[in-house]
Every structure is written in C-alpha cells, then in structure tokens.
C-alpha cells in the first residue's frame, strides 16, 4: 500500500468528516480541495461562500480545536507553569496557531511562581490590525493580583518579524507595569512557521527609557507595516541559537 494511497484516503476522510460536522456540501469541498489547501477551509471559511449556519459550525469546530490544543498543553504541563520562551511559545501557539482570518491579542497573567492564573483575549481585529487598550490589560492584571504577564498575538499573514507597532506596544506596557512591580516577561508573536520571542531576541525595553501612556495603539501585521511605514528600529541581531532562558525567581 503506497503513500499516495494513504494520503488520498486521508484527504477523503477529512473531507467526509468536515462535511458531516459542518454541513458543507461534499462537492464544494472536493472542488475547493482541487485548487486550494484544504486546511484553508477552516482558516478562511468565507472563501467557500458558506451559509450562516455552516459558518457558525466552522467557528465551533475551530474553537473546539483550540480548546483541544490548550488542554493537551495543560496535560503535558500539569503545573501550568511558564518558565521559558519555548514554553510561552508552545502555550500561545495552542491558542493562535492557524488563526489567519483575524489578528488576536492575548495576555497570560502569572503568579510569583510563574503559574498561569488566567489567560484572556484582550482584543481581536481584522487581517492586518487589532486595537489594544492598555487600560484593559491593567484592569485585568490588578483584578487577578498577578506579579507578571506575557503578551502574545498572531500575524495572520504568517510573518514572524515584529512590526513597529509590536515594539511600541511592548515599550508602552513595560512603562505602565514596571512601576507597579508587575513584570513584562515576554511578547510572543505567532506566525506560520512557529513563534518569535522578543525576550529571546533581546528586544524587551527597559522601563526607565519609556514615557507612560495609556492611549490605545493599533497593532498591525508586518505585511502592512512594510508597505507603508519605515521601521525606525534597527534589525535585531540574533545568531540563530535558541538559548534556554529561565524566568524562575
């Protein structure tokens, strides 16, 4: 039994399962798969011109897959403890990997042992931007009495390179939270090929360098920033070696 046969059988089973779960007609899925990656049917459902009920079922399926990934992460990390960029990247990948139809900004609130107290979706936007209000993050942080936070968002276009807005948001959050003795441990960016950690790249700013501002800032994916906004920040120097940074106190 050859690999091609197994691949074809898996594709047919995938189409059949997607049809049964969402009600999308088989012929529509088969025709779509002839010219597109079938995974895009879940990530870009609007391209299939679905009914409102079919779209709703696709959304429910996507939420189920996210919940499954998060629960799997928690099973593998029973203490729900994030002590390194690699763990932070795998944690937020469970929420954000494969999310290509919108940009989502999330924050994990940690206690003094780096255990996750709570993780919240702070903002959702379109394909290229998501408005983020620092006061909403501050309110949530004070409510759960955390000692540190990790921020994360996805780039729907897949780029792993931080945009100017990504850096500006990180600077602003450090300036707001450091005087309150709430540490900003990292800002994780999720793309098609994995994740980028600003802490791992040495790009987390220092509080003393910043001016505190509670104004909203709109995060934009790199694809739009590169077309319209020159990046005032120097390119980060990274030798390609992943170092196991520990955040334990």
Domains parsed from the chain with CATH numbers: 3-63 (no CATH), 80-228 (3.40.140.10)
Distance CA 77, CA 74 (A): 5
Nearest-CA neighbor of 186 among 168, 175, 200?
Answer: 200
Phi/psi for 99 (5° steps) reads -85, 100
Nearest-CA neighbor of 185 among 194, 197, 195?
Answer: 197
Q: Is the pTM of this model over 0.85?
A: no
**Any idea what the Cα angle at residue 117 is, between residues 113 and 123, rounded to 5°?**
130
Q: Are 176 and 184 contacting, i.e. CB atoms less than 8 angstroms apart?
A: no
Express each pLDDT in 135-173 by its tens digit: 999 999 999 999 999 999 999 888 899 999 899 889 999
For residue 216, pLDDT over 60 is answered with no
What does the pLDDT read at residue 2? Answer: 46
Express each pLDDT in 91-124 by its tens digit: 999 888 878 778 999 999 999 999 999 999 998 8
Choose the most confident range, by mean pLDDT, from 13-22, 39-48, 62-71, 230-239: 13-22
């Amino acid at each position: 039994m050859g690999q091609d046969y197994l691949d074809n059988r898996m594709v047919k089973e995938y189409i059949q399962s997607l049809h049964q779960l969402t009600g999308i007609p088989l012929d529509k899925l088969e025709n779509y798969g002839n010219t597109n990656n079938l995974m895009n049917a879940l990530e870009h459902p609007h391209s299939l011109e679905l009914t409102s009920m079919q779209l709703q079922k696709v959304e429910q399926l996507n939420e189920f897959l996210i919940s499954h990934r998060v629960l799997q992460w928690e099973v593998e990390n029973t203490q729900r403890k994030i002590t390194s960029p690699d763990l932070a990247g795998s944690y937020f990948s469970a929420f954000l990997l494969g999310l290509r139809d919108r940009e989502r900004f999330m924050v994990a609130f940690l206690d003094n042992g780096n255990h996750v107290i709570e993780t919240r979706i702070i903002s959702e936007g379109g394909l290229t931007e998501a408005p983020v209000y620092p006061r909403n993050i501050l309110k949530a942080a004070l409510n759960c009495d955390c000692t540190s936070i990790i921020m994360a968002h996805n780039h729907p276009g897949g780029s792993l390179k931080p945009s100017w807005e990504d850096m500006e948001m990180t600077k602003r959050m450090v300036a707001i939270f450091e005087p309150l003795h709430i540490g900003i441990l990292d800002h994780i960016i999720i793309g098609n090929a994995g994740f980028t950690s600003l802490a791992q790249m040495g790009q987390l700013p220092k509080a003393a360098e910043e001016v505190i501002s509670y104004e909203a800032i709109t995060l934009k994916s790199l694809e739009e920033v590169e077309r319209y906004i020159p990046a005032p920040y120097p390119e980060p120097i990274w030798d390609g070696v992943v170092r196991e940074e520990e955040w334990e106190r």
